[in-house]
Amino acid sequence: MIKAILWDNDGLLVDTERVYFEANRQVLLQAGVKLTKELFADVSLRQGLSLLDLARQSGWKGKQLAALRQERDSYYLELLRKGVRILPGVEAILQVLRGKVRMGIVTSAQRVHFDAMHSRSGLLPHFEFVITREDYAHGKPAPDGYLEGLRRLGVGPVECLAVEDSERGLISAVAAGMRCLVVPNAESAGGDFSSALAILPEVSRLSDYLS
């Protein structure tokens, strides 16, 4: 029986992938890199690599690369503070699940960015905890974030479902021993989701898999 659900955040609960793409696209132009949506999906959503590695490949390094990262993070935060959209069906399914299963968030976002995303979302009372990128050693597709989530819940992986939108997130959850439902979005839809428990057209279908 499923006792808990660990949710990804970006591209699943809130529509931030487009915003992150734009922040990276703008700063990478300084390094002569033209970031396309296809390259973004491959590097970030499939492989889980830093998009600023593209600048490193163009010869940027050290302080120069660090400054580019700082500019990207600041611009991303500025965009997030303008407000982000909650994705369709999210509020309704969280209301249905609240009190029936325990829920937490495992995100690759930095805490400052996560807080900006959810400053007005109203979603956080549905969750027991939030695990951000500062809370674990290795980012997705490594399993560290989900293993920390299981530890906090005090449940085994067979008792907990993961919900993801990206290939790297799916790999992370499966590596932690969990079954994972995938709800792809426009940015992540081209990923390999063959190891998923199911690929859902919309997040409202999640309740079908809780028995």
Range 4-15+85-209 classified under CATH 3.40.50.1000: yes
- Give per-residue pLDDT as tens, 120-137: 999 999 999 999 999 999
Nearest to 209 by CA among 57, 110, 97, 128: 97
The values of phi and psi at residue 123, to 5°, are -90, -25
Nearest to 114 by CA among 95, 94, 135, 93: 135
- Give per-residue pLDDT as tens, 19-54: 999 999 999 999 999 999 999 999 999 999 899 989
How many helices (DSSP H) and strands (DSSP E) are in the chain?
8, 6
Sorted by where each begins, the domain ranges of the chain are 4-15+85-209, 17-80
Instruction: Give pTM, 2 decimals.
Output: 0.94
